[in-house]
Amino acid sequence: MNFQFLLTTKVIMKKGIRLETGKYLKENSLQHVLIITDKGIKNAGLLEDVYTSLKKNNVTFDEFYEVKPNPRDTDCDSAANQFRDKKIDGILTIGGGSAIDTAKAVSILLTNGGTIKDYEGISVATNEPLPIICIPTTAGTGSEVTFWSIITDTKNEYKMAIGDSRIAPKIALLDTELTASLPASIAASTGMDALTHAIEAYTCKVANPITDGMALHAIRLISENLVEAIYGNNNENARQNMLIGSLIAGIAFGNSDTASVHCLSEAIGGLYDTPHGVANAIFLPYVFKHNMDADIKKHAEVGYAMGIDPRLPYAKASQESVKMLFKLSERLNIPKFSEINHVNPKDFLQLAKKSLNNFSNPDNVKEMSVKDYLEILEGAYTGIEEELPIN
**For 219-231, how does the pLDDT look when each residue is reduced to its tens digit (9 = 90+)?**
999 999 999 999 9
Give the E-state strand segments of 269-358 in sequence order.
Answer: none
Q: Using 70 as the pLDDT threshold, list the residues of the chain that sit under it.
A: 384-391
| pTM (2 d.p.) | 0.94
pLDDT of residue 375: 96
Give the C-alpha separation, 171 to 9, whole Å.
5
Question: Do strands 90-95 and 132-136 pair parallel, antiparallel, or not at all (unpaired)?
Answer: parallel
Q: Which of 178, 174, 171 is nearest to 30 (CA)?
A: 171
55 close to 19: Cβ distance less than 8 angstroms: no
Give the C-alpha separation, 201 to 191, whole Å.
15
List, in sequence order, the alpha helices (H) in 170-208: 184-203
348 close to 361: Cβ distance less than 8 angstroms: no
Give the C-alpha separation, 186 to 191, whole Å.
8
DSSP helix/strand/coil, 65: coil
- pLDDT tens, residue by residue, 174-206: 999 999 989 999 999 999 999 999 999 999 999
Give the C-alpha separation, 40 to 195, whole Å.
25
- pLDDT tens, residue by residue, 313-340: 999 999 999 999 999 999 999 999 999 9
pLDDT of residue 167: 97
**Edge-to-edge strands of the sheet including 32-36?**
10-13, 171-174, 132-136, 90-95, 32-36, 60-64
Residue 257's contacts (CB-CB under 8 Å, 6 or more residues apart) are 200, 201, 204, 205, 206, 360, 363
pLDDT of residue 385: 60
Give the C-alpha separation, 368 to 257, whole Å.
16
pLDDT of residue 389: 44
Give the E-state strand segments of 73-175 in sequence order.
Answer: 90-95, 121-122, 132-136, 148-153, 158-163, 171-174
C-beta neighbour count of 241 within 10 angstroms:
21
pLDDT of residue 6: 86
Give the C-alpha separation, 348 to 341, whole Å.
14
HSE-CB for 155 with a 13 A CA cutoff: 4
